[in-house]
């Protein structure tokens, strides 16, 4: 029994002296500190003031000859910087939804553009290169108001390791 304990303790002491690096693992250069710069951290997560008026709006009068009705979509700011409230309306049908824009390190710039159908629009945003990125589509099918996600966006941060 003593010999088994002696052998185990010798093995443990020998393994504690190793650095734990494997020959195939690249060694990090300790002379240069690795820094990760995340541009998304430069934007505050909450707004100081929330605007009461819509930041973007799309509105088209419906073909109803008896009433003054509209198909309209309006985006409103929320206290969170990258979240917006969507207010939808088609004639007397109303609804709400939320829009969460990705944080590219710039202030969000939501936009609404005309869609392919008569009563439809595309909600999106302008990216760093001022390119319109489609996000959601609002449209009418029969007498129903619908909203569908067209694409999904995400922002990732990674660290480039130098050998």
Looking at the whole model, is its pTM more than 0.75?
no
Residue 43 covered by a domain: no
Residue 35 covered by a domain: no
Residue 20 covered by a domain: no
Residue 27 has pLDDT above 70, yes or no: no
Which pLDDT score, from 0 to 100, does residue 18 have? 52
Contact call for residues 77 and 51 (beta carbons, < 8 A) = yes
- How many C-beta atoms surround the C-beta of residue 88 within 10 A? 19
Residue 22 has pLDDT above 60, yes or no: no
- Number of independent structural domains in the chain: 1
Residue 10 covered by a domain: no
Residue 93 covered by a domain: yes
Which pLDDT score, from 0 to 100, does residue 113 have? 98
Q: Which residue would you say has higher pLDDT here, 13 or 133?
A: 133
The pLDDT tens digits for 43-89 are 899 999 999 999 999 999 999 989 999 999 999 999 999 999 999 99
Range of the domain at 90: 54-149
Cα–Cα dist 123/115, whole Å: 9
The pLDDT tens digits for 113-159 are 999 999 999 999 999 999 999 999 999 999 899 999 999 998 877 77
Residue 36 covered by a domain: no
Residue 131 covered by a domain: yes
Q: Which residue would you say has higher pLDDT here, 39 or 143?
A: 143
Question: Quick one: pLDDT band at residue 42, thresholds 50, 70, 90?
Answer: confident
Residue 155 covered by a domain: no
Cα–Cα dist 112/135, whole Å: 10
* Mean predicted confidence (pLDDT) in 11-35: 55
Which pLDDT score, from 0 to 100, does residue 62 have? 95
Contact call for residues 149 and 136 (beta carbons, < 8 A) = yes
């Amino acid at each position: 029994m003593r010999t088994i304990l002696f052998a185990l303790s010798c093995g443990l002491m020998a393994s504690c002296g190793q650095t734990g690096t494997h020959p195939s693992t690249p060694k990090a250069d300790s002379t240069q500190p690795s820094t990760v710069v995340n541009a998304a951290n430069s934007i505050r997560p909450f707004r100081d003031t929330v605007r009461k008026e819509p930041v973007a709006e799309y509105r088209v009068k419906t073909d109803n000859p008896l009433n003054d009705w509209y198909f309209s979509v309006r985006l409103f700011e929320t206290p969170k910087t990258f979240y917006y409230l969507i207010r939808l309306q088609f004639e007397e049908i109303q609804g709400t939804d939320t829009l969460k824009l990705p944080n590219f390190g710039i202030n969000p710039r939501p936009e609404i553009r005309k869609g392919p159908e008569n009563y439809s629009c595309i909600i999106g945003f302008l990216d760093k290169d001022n390119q319109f990125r489609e996000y959601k589509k609002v449209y009418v099918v029969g007498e129903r108001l619908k909203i569908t996600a067209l694409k999904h966006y995400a922002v990732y941060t990674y660290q480039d390791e130098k050998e």
